[in-house]
Structure 1
């Protein structure tokens, strides 16, 4: 009897700790991002998602960072677009700061940078992210493999466009635009003049 009590006593701590370990292993991981707007310098650094749902306060802070760079107009950013950026970064093992060239745009700013008339930037569902030349291909390929929204790759300008709209691709990507039988979508931005247009927008 004494021997059986000792055995049960030894097993009890292990039994009690097992649920805790299981909870620890299955607990969703925080999703963290570091963003900086190239034009305004506004920055976000922290968790925006607890693994189950978006933190509304963090999303509001991100929306402020990604506000229109000319007018300062803030539009609630689509959390799916933020998730696409985060997931692409995870897949590409990106550990640095994301430098955002363009987030939300008002119609006036969109016209100044020669944006498409139906640009996803107009509804705060798109980001243009600058990346070092060495990291850009890996990040772009990770985003393309996800098949979530639109991906535009601009190697010559060192940035990738990501959005939460329909799945499509354009720019410096394998096979060019989406290989489906659907009509080829127009690029989000006529890139030939975008650098000059951004310079003009910052001066206004």
Structure 2
């Protein structure tokens, strides 16, 4: 089924397009692929970028995850594929361009979106970052009408870890939140210190 992609806030898109059209911003970016792309570049596939707040076990099981909207990420597409990404973040003065980036998450995001289009259910695509694990996932939210700045991962939502994923977590495969979250919680939660009582 087609993904229900939410439109990015117009000021966020404008800030990214202004940076993309600025030779200075592109030249100063640490993205060789962006500078070497010969054709015109466009900002496509806007995705709200959420950050998973630290989760901790409660009574031997994972607490409900909470997230916060940190920005919007756009894939920067050249002739036939994404070559970089651009992020806009919310500041006290409104949406502003943050930075360009490249690397394996760009192609992995493009691939995950293509695969998600073929899933039998409808989803609202988002990105979910897990900073403690240096992990980024495509979050397929079941509530396609939800406001993009609200909502937390539901047990039946899907998370697709983007490659490279942390060791022991299969990348590029959809995992139910109810299956993946306990694994993430165990990795995030610090264990007992050596020499301290367990």
TM class by smaller structure: 0.3 to 0.5
Larger Rg: 1
More strand by share: 2
TM-score (norm 2): 0.35
More helix by share: 1
